[in-house]
Chain A
Amino acid sequence: MQDERALPVSRKISSWRQFKAILRKDIVMELRTKEMLTSMGLYAILVLLIYYVALSQAGQGFDVTRIAGGLLLLAIVFTSMLGLNRSLVHEQDQGCLEALLLSPIDRPIIFFGKAVGNLIFLLLVQVFVVPLFYFIFLSGGMATEHTGPWWMVALALIVTSIGIAGVGTLLATMSVNTKGKDFILAVLFIPIMFPLLLVAVAALSAVITGDPEYVRIFWTMLGAAAVYDVIMISAAFALYEFILGA
């Protein structure tokens, strides 16, 4: 190179541009490798298959709608843990996380970029899993006919997924440098997500069973889930720099 500074390299740091760059990079890489989506999708199918086997001898009188909210959420939680781990392992490859950390970028922007990417992938898997779940468990003989509106189920899953992606991204970052990162993530993830899972199951169950009080229960539980999301994502935002520097 004759004169490396011949072209002036001007810049104006923009957090929005940096956020978009991280998000776009994650989406391009995933569309190219399909690693996360394929593994999450296949894992979800396996979980549904296990549910089917477990419920196959439940008998004619068993109403699966009473536990459908919990089953659906469990499938999503298990699937998300797999995806969350993979999203950070990508960054560890060839020291890419270090490259991100060497850039003039505020750490919370990295958090938001990774968390929004994880949320998108999680929702994409749900677009496939939820209809499959409905087809297997709620459209046949195991379900009664009093299911509430499906937009409410979708809304509950979106609010829950925001919490899973936010908290999960923080915990995946904490565990990525540890030995047995899958185990560490699960050990941290489930207890911290416990309050969100409880209210999300309550909201989903109320809608799916078509409980007479389902509208009131749904909005109360969804409100609690939203409060959880705000508190935990704010905490993750504040802690991310410390976690990355530790």
Chain B
Amino acid sequence: MSDFALEIENLTRTFGVRKALDGVSFNLKRGAFLSVFGPNGAGKTTLLRVLSTLAAPSRDSSVKVLGYDVVEDAVELREHIGVISHNPLLYPDLTADENLQFFADLYCLENPKERIDELLEAVELTHRRLDVVRGFSRGMVQRLALARTLLPSPELIFLDEPYSGLDPHASDILDSLIAGIREEHTFVMVSHDLEKGLSLCSDALILARGKVVLFEAAENIERDEFSRIFREAVGRGVS
């Protein structure tokens, strides 16, 4: 088994003539927490879509996630990854319980009921398990989305602006859940929030115009220097 969760070499993805990702290359060790920064249109979401098998890279790219090729071994890879997006990826007309049961069936989990009970308790939604998701607040939906993601116990979790729209309570729950599973999982988080992203990460990546501007271990990052590079790359200050 490879030591790397991500092995990316010359990752390119085009939309027509526009290159959303242009020769991106880096490796990320298992157990790391990578925060990806960049302006709108930098290619952050496209990077997550390629890594999570939702979009194919161009042919001359080599992209391995947890040792699986994202094109050749996509179905097997999907068993081992989870995605938390600003979109909850939940059915609003199903109850919390039905949503989790549905995804447990898609992942063919054995003993799903125990797992669902455990996760609903962890996200403090046991008392709302029989309510349809349409009636949930944004924070509750995001907590349930987290439970859905953790249901098959993925090794690698992609977070696409997970704190977007969360109230402080939901944000705290998300923080504590991430902290609780931080040791056993690899995370890749796309964020506009430098403070939050840098406080969580073991490695940081800045993308601009589809290219890697900086890829560095957090321990080597000097905050002022990082902010300067970030400002230069994205043309935006840091609050």
Please list the residues of chain A having a beta carbon within 8 angstroms of any beta carbon in chain B: 1-7, 9-14, 17-18, 20-22, 24-25, 28-29, 32-33, 90, 93-96, 98-106, 245
Contact = CB atoms under 8 A, between A and B. Distances in A.
Contacts of A6: 118
16 contacts: A2-B180, A3-B180, A7-B114, A7-B118, A9-B151, A11-B110, A13-B79, A13-B108, A21-B105, A25-B98, A95-B87, A95-B88, A96-B89, A100-B106, A103-B78, A103-B107
Interface in B19-60: 52-54, 56
Contacts of B232: none
Contact of A94 (B90, B110, B151): B90
Nearest to B82: A102
Given A5-B153, A7-B118, A102-B78, A25 B91 contact: yes
A28 B82 CA distance: 25
B79 A4 contact: no
**Chain B interface residue count: which class?**
35 or more
Interface in B157-184: 176-177, 180-181, 184
A101 B87 contact: no
Given A102-B54, A245-B56, A96 B105 contact: no
A93 B92 contact: yes
B75 A106 contact: yes
Given A95-B85, A101-B54, A11 B108 contact: yes
B180 A104 contact: no
B91 A102 contact: no
A89 to B, nearest CB: 12
Contacts, number: 118
A49 B94 CA distance: 35
A224 to B, nearest CB: 36
Given A21-B106, A99-B103, A104-B78, A33 B93 contact: yes
B79 A10 contact: no
Given A21-B102, A25-B91, A96-B91, A102 B83 contact: yes
Contact of B90 (A33, A96, A105): A96
A106 B53 CA distance: 13
Contacts of B105: 17-18, 20-21
A94 B102 CA distance: 16
A99 B82 CA distance: 10
B149 to A, nearest CB: 9
B110 A10 contact: yes
Contacts of B151: 9
B106 A105 contact: yes
Contacts of A18: 105-106, 108
B122 A1 contact: yes
B106 A1 contact: no
Highest count of chain A CB atoms <10 Å: which of B54, B93, B106:
B106
Interface in B77-130: 78-79, 81-83, 85, 87-94, 98, 102-103, 105-111, 114-115, 118-119, 122
A12 B108 contact: yes
Contacts of B92: 93-94
Given A7-B115, A98-B54, A29 B91 contact: yes
